[in-house]
Structure 1
Amino acid sequence: MEFIVYCHQITSGSDVGMHFSATLQESKARVAEYRAALRQIDPTSEPLGALGIYAMALRMPDVATIIDILNSPESLLATCLVRKKLVTLIVD
């Protein structure tokens, strides 16, 4: 079984530290909150650049896959990812 989740970059151009949401609208709202919080902390900071929001199709792991993941350094995301597609960029 496949399902879609949306995720956005925390750092422009990087997949490290992605944040996941159930819907595209929720992901866009999280990006807006993140940018607003950073501006409040440091209003004079440089723009963050374009933050990508991706639709990720994942497959539900079975018990054997979960056991393999628990016994290895593999990530659940890397193991269950079927496809990843950039759906929008949020720019300052």
Structure 2
Amino acid sequence: MAQQKIVLKISTMTNEKVRQKAMEAAADILGVDSIGADIDNQELTVIGDMDTSALMKKLKKVGEVTVASIGVVEEEKDAEKKI
């Protein structure tokens, strides 16, 4: 299965303390490979092969969560890596 890239908007993520709680909550979900947070836009970007509903349920404990976008992470082709 391909990895997903999920961008979530967390309305309460306005400071470092809440950002840290959100990142720790996302890290607890099985299958998460990468987490990025942007306090200015109140967005959390999660990449991995995980259960989206479990991620949302866990992050709702941090604050109000809405999905900004869901997509598939495209893997680089081996032919592009070869020189």
TM-score (norm 2): 0.36
Between Structure 1 and Structure 2, the one with more helix by share is 1
TM-score (norm 1): 0.33
